């Protein structure tokens, strides 16, 4: 492509300031930079607290003026790529603009591709969001393309935003991808946001992967319920540094679930991403698969199967009151948005069909799953493991030899041994000490050799180490036998009243088990990025392998729980560990 690439412009972040807030999973609190104007705050289990607040008339008026000023501004921002249905030949360019764009479009070579508008109105603030998606097909595999994004009312129409991307290889070829979850934004006015999220995006760029997997809890907009579009905007503009140059493939986490925004609360998420088609009407974008080289990638929505109640939640004592124009009534204290079972089994049926087809396909070596919540996490201060995933999906991962599962949710790094099958007598209830069947994943080896045959068992990685201000690199220990210990949700932790009137909470996991499956935990920091180098094996019969290196940002923790040392965001990502997965063809 001969088209010139114009440098990316300086990006600014939303300038809203908010009051004192507190979140549950970190126990951290933060003061605002301006007088407190929100009425109430909350604390809840698992980092899932949602402050209850009202959009005040003064703020609504200010926003209305701002919307009017932006109404004619179609300048593209928050520009990001995802794979089309075939990553070798198609991508989707997505973006937003401050106001409605006139003739939004992508230019690639001599082609001009009109974008599909997908606007929505936030169900709490009543703010409009203008989002656009241009499907770019007919590309050559393994090729680099330049593109430009613009509109008639683009302030930069004479010199529009442009960047380059590379398509996936058509067949068996080496490639690199990266992953982390729980990114947040660099705007510390927002709950759970932290400066490390900017360095995390830059870290992706430094490794120049073909694409990035963003495994859920993208920006925690639902913890900033009266300003969700602004949080998404800061997330999108931070992400653009990398996601305009290579696809970022997300899965939804508990913090993509927002009150008054669609049947599962995913309107913000689904309006901003176009994802490969799962051909299930009513469930588009929630889960999907795509193929790159010899790897089948499967992205799931674990909100559908987990027991834990960790999505949008009003702790009280105040209600969360949407602006009048939305027509939504106040959301009362003690209300949570609980999604378990929302697909009625459709996701699991789709998953089995997808995995079975993948394993039947002789051109597929590897099956890699991403989801947000964890089947195998021994975080002490985070959420832990969830029996719902173990019941619904681990038997399928066993049956179809899923090689690798990538999760987020707990803001740390943890690696399991290869696991297959379950130990049925390993758990006990926290409250009573009674035995409880946690279906503990059974390690097929506990020798940490650095090389694992995943045809024998699935390796789970926790990669919730993106950029939040709540690193959770503290892990459980059974003080009785000094074994590693994991918390496990075996039932729903629905909101319960506290001793304070009209204030509710959600409990932590109800069971524990010795985490015999846990192989490696990073106690140095809660920040990092995993880099995956896929080698399909040289020549006929060559052994495929994936070399995985976890790089971590030591010193980035605001306070390192292991040492008490205070840190600050850092651009320095250094190697924590390297290991290799192998399997026979
Ligand atoms: Fe999460």
Please give, one letter per residue, the 3-state secondary structure of 249-311. Answer: EECCCHHHCCCCCCCCCCHHHHHHCCCCCCCCCCCCCCCEEEEECCEEEEECCHHHCCCCCCC
What spacing in Å lies between the alpha carbon of 5 and ligand 1's midpoint? 37
What spacing in Å lies between the alpha carbon of 549 and ligand 1's midpoint? 23
Provide the pLDDT for residue 11: 41
What spacing in Å lies between the alpha carbon of 46 and ligand 1's midpoint? 8
What spacing in Å lies between the alpha carbon of 217 and ligand 1's midpoint? 5
What spacing in Å lies between the alpha carbon of 137 and ligand 1's midpoint? 33
What spacing in Å lies between the alpha carbon of 507 and ligand 1's midpoint? 15
Q: Which two tokens stand for residue 109?
A: 């070579």
What spacing in Å lies between the alpha carbon of 421 and ligand 1's midpoint? 26
| Beta pairing, strands 77-83 & 91-97 | antiparallel
What spacing in Å lies between the alpha carbon of 165 and ligand 1's midpoint? 30
Provide the pLDDT for residue 66: 59
Q: Which two tokens stand for residue 290?
A: 């795509």
What spacing in Å lies between the alpha carbon of 141 and ligand 1's midpoint? 35
What spacing in Å lies between the alpha carbon of 215 and ligand 1's midpoint? 9
What spacing in Å lies between the alpha carbon of 216 and ligand 1's midpoint? 7
What spacing in Å lies between the alpha carbon of 290 and ligand 1's midpoint? 23
Q: Which two tokens stand for residue 499?
A: 């001793």
Query: Which residue numbers in the chain have pLDDT < 70?
Result: 1-71, 539-541
Predicted TM-score (pTM) of this structure? 0.91
What spacing in Å lies between the alpha carbon of 214 and ligand 1's midpoint? 12
Output b/e per residue, 529-562; b: 16+ Cβ within 10 A.
bbbbbbbbbeeeeeebbbebbbbbbbbbbbebbe
What spacing in Å lies between the alpha carbon of 148 and ligand 1's midpoint? 34
Cβ burial of 156 (10 Å; 0-12, 13-18, 19+) is middle
What spacing in Å lies between the alpha carbon of 409 and ligand 1's midpoint? 4
CA gap 521, 532 in Å, rounded: 18
What spacing in Å lies between the alpha carbon of 464 and ligand 1's midpoint? 8
What spacing in Å lies between the alpha carbon of 419 and ligand 1's midpoint? 23
What spacing in Å lies between the alpha carbon of 351 and ligand 1's midpoint? 21
What spacing in Å lies between the alpha carbon of 408 and ligand 1's midpoint? 7
Other beta carbons within 10 Å of 119: 13
What spacing in Å lies between the alpha carbon of 156 and ligand 1's midpoint? 37
What spacing in Å lies between the alpha carbon of 149 and ligand 1's midpoint? 32
What spacing in Å lies between the alpha carbon of 254 and ligand 1's midpoint? 5
Provide the pLDDT for residue 540: 59
What spacing in Å lies between the alpha carbon of 398 and ligand 1's midpoint? 25
What spacing in Å lies between the alpha carbon of 320 and ligand 1's midpoint? 21
What spacing in Å lies between the alpha carbon of 196 and ligand 1's midpoint? 17
Please report, for residues 338, 471, 475, 560, the alpha-carbon distance to residue 525 in angstroms, rounded to integers and kept in the order given: 31, 7, 12, 7
Rg of the chain (C-alpha set): 23
What spacing in Å lies between the alpha carbon of 218 and ligand 1's midpoint? 9
What spacing in Å lies between the alpha carbon of 410 and ligand 1's midpoint? 7
What spacing in Å lies between the alpha carbon of 23 and ligand 1's midpoint? 13
What spacing in Å lies between the alpha carbon of 270 and ligand 1's midpoint? 18
What spacing in Å lies between the alpha carbon of 109 and ligand 1's midpoint? 40
CA gap 411, 475 in Å, rounded: 11
What spacing in Å lies between the alpha carbon of 513 and ligand 1's midpoint? 21
What spacing in Å lies between the alpha carbon of 50 and ligand 1's midpoint? 13
What spacing in Å lies between the alpha carbon of 311 and ligand 1's midpoint? 8
Provide the pLDDT for residue 561: 76
What spacing in Å lies between the alpha carbon of 60 and ligand 1's midpoint? 30
What spacing in Å lies between the alpha carbon of 185 and ligand 1's midpoint? 15
What spacing in Å lies between the alpha carbon of 124 and ligand 1's midpoint? 21
> Half-sphere exposure of 241 toward its Cβ, with a 13 Å CA cutoff?
19
What spacing in Å lies between the alpha carbon of 469 and ligand 1's midpoint? 13
């Amino acid at each position: 492509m001969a088209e010139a690439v114009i440098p990316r412009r300086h990006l600014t972040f939303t300038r809203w300031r908010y009051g004192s807030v507190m979140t549950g999973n970190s126990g951290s609190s933060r003061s605002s930079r301006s007088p407190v104007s929100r009425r109430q705050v909350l604390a809840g289990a698992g980092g899932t607290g949602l402050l209850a607040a009202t959009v005040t008339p003064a703020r609504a008026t200010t926003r209305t003026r701002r919307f009017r000023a932006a109404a004619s501004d179609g300048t593209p921002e928050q520009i990001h790529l995802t794979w089309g249905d075939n990553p070798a030949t198609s991508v989707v360019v997505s973006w937003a603009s401050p106001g409605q764009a006139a003739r939004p479009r992508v230019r690639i070579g001599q082609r001009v591709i009109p974008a599909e508008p997908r606007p929505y109105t936030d169900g709490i603030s009543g703010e409009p969001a203008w989002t656009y998606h241009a499907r770019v097909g007919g590309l050559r595999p393994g090729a680099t393309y330049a593109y430009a994004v613009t509109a008639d009312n683009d302030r930069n129409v004479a010199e529009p935003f442009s960047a380059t991307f590379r398509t996936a290889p058509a067949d068996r070829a080496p490639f690199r991808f990266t992953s982390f979850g729980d990114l947040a934004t660099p705007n510390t006015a927002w709950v759970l946001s932290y400066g490390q999220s900017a360095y995390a995006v830059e870290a992706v760029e430094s490794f120049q992967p073909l694409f990035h997997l963003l495994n859920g809890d993208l920006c925690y907009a639902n913890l900033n319920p009266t300003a969700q579009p602004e949080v998404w905007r800061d997330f999108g503009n931070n992400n653009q540094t990398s996601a305009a140059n290579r696809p970022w493939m997300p899965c939804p986490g508990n913090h993509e679930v927002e009150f008054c925004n669609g049947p599962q609360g995913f309107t913000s998420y689904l309006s901003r991403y176009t994802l490969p088609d799962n051909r299930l009407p009513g469930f588009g974008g929630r889960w999907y698969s795509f193929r790159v080289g010899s790897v089948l990638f499967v992205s799931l929505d674990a909100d559908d199967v987990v027991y834990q109640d960790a999505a949008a939640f009003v702790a009280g004592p105040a209600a969360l009151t949407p602006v009048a124009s939305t027509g939504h009534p106040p959301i009362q204290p003690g209300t949570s948005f609980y999604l378990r079972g929302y697909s009625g089994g459709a996701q699991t049926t789709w998953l089995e069909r997808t995995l079975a087809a993948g394993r039947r396909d002789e051109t597929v070596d590897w099956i890699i799953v991403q989801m947000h919540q964890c089947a195998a996490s021994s975080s002490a201060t985070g959420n832990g493991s969830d029996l719902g995933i173990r019941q619904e999906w681990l038997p399928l991962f066993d049956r179809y030899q899923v090689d690798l599962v990538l999760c987020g949710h707990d803001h740390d790094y943890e690696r399991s041994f290869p696991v297959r099958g379950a130990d049925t007598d390993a758990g006990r209830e926290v409250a009573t000490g009674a035995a409880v069947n946690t279906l503990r994943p059974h390690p097929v080896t506990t020798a940490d050799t650095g090389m694992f045959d995943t045809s024998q068992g699935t390796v789970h990685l926790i990669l919730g180490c993106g950029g939040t201000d709540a690193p959770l690199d503290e892990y459980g220990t059974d003080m009785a036998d000094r074994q590693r210990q994991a918390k496990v949700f075996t039932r729903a932790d629905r909101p319960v009243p506290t001793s304070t009137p009209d204030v509710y909470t959600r409990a932590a996991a109800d069971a524990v088990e010795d985490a015999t499956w846990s192989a490696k935990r990073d106690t140095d920091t809660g920040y990092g990025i995993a880099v995956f180098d896929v080698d399909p094996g040289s020549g006929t019969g060559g052994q495929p392998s994936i070399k995985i290196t976890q790089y971590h940002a030591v010193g980035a923790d605001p306070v390192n729980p292991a040492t008490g040392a205070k840190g600050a965001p850092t651009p320095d990502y250094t190697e924590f560990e390297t290991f290799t997965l192998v399997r026979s063809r």
